[in-house]
Amino acid sequence: MTHTPTLPGFRRILLKLSGEVLMGNQAYGIDTDFVASLAAEVKAARDTGLELCLVIGGGNIFRGISGAAKGMDRAQADYMGMLATIMNALAMQSALEKLGVDTRVQSAIQMDAVCEPVIRRRAERHLQKGRVVIFAAGVGAPYFTTDSGAALRAAEMQCDALLKGTSVDGVYSADPKKDPNARRFDTIDYDTVLAENLQVMDASAVALCRDNSIPIVVFSIREPGNLAKVLAGDGIRTIVKKEH
């Protein structure tokens, strides 16, 4: 295993949050107190001089693939899931702006009354001005997850890394909830993740990051202060990258 690289030196990152983390300890929906604490962590990261893009999943409100499993048309269910990500993006925008962080939401589904369309050059300008940009509605098409949306935006915006804040503190050899012998990797190669189907992100997202040499950093966002630790090169996380 190669030496674990540290993260300082990154100029621009994309932070992908799973929709489930916005539930806090609730069973459903948006926990505004938890979203406020997440916003404070995002602000602290922005205040270090980082340029920050966010992508937030929609699983706390509606997950297209589970809707499809219950007999709903898959494309229709996925569009509903995209609308859920817009609701989450607006909630996070509200929390960030309460803390004085200028934030723009750009949606892959046009919704002019509440947010901007995704325009790369405009997003670039927002980042240069110190604003946080939240990309919503995935890639704007069904059959793609918000992971794929995050990888696409990270590549499009030329981010130095994609940080995936989730409920698990890294990538394991097996599901740690089911297998007590599962081991966590410090670093792992993209191709190993794909070959062993390690469920870090969906395969198209991992492949897109691999093809654009964007490291994926998987860490637990539920642990307070963990984002700052990971950005400082500390904290428990797994870095998915090309290993030589």
- Domain tally, the chain: 1
What is the pTM assigned to this prediction?
Answer: 0.94
Q: Which residues pair with 12 in a beta bridge?
A: 51
User: What does DSSP assign to residue 51?
Assistant: E
Q: Rg (Cα) of the chain, in Å, rounded?
A: 17
The 10s digit of each residue's pLDDT in 212-242 is 999 999 999 998 899 999 999 888 999 999 9
Q: pLDDT band for 8, please (50, 70, 90 cuts).
A: low
Please give the Cα distance from 50 to 112 (Å, whole number). Answer: 28
- Domain presence at residue 67: yes
| Mean pLDDT (whole number) for 91-101 | 98
The domain spanning residue 112 has which CATH number?
3.40.1160.10
The residue length of the chain stands at 244
C-alpha distances (whole Å) from 111 to each of 105, 108, 116, 118, 201 are 10, 9, 7, 10, 27
- Domain presence at residue 232: no
- Domain presence at residue 97: yes
| Mean pLDDT (whole number) for 200-208 | 94
- Domain presence at residue 204: no
- Domain presence at residue 48: yes
pLDDT of residue 4: 40
The 10s digit of each residue's pLDDT in 131-154 is 999 999 999 999 999 999 999 999
Please give the Cα distance from 67 to 200 (Å, whole number). Answer: 22
pLDDT of residue 177: 82
- Domain presence at residue 24: yes
In this structure, are strands 12-17 and 51-56 parallel, antiparallel, or unpaired?
parallel
Higher pLDDT: 199 or 40? It is 40
* Domain residue limits at 45: 12-168+219-225
- Location of structure tokens 């966010």: 54
Ordered alpha helix ranges (H), 129-225? 146-156, 190-195, 203-211
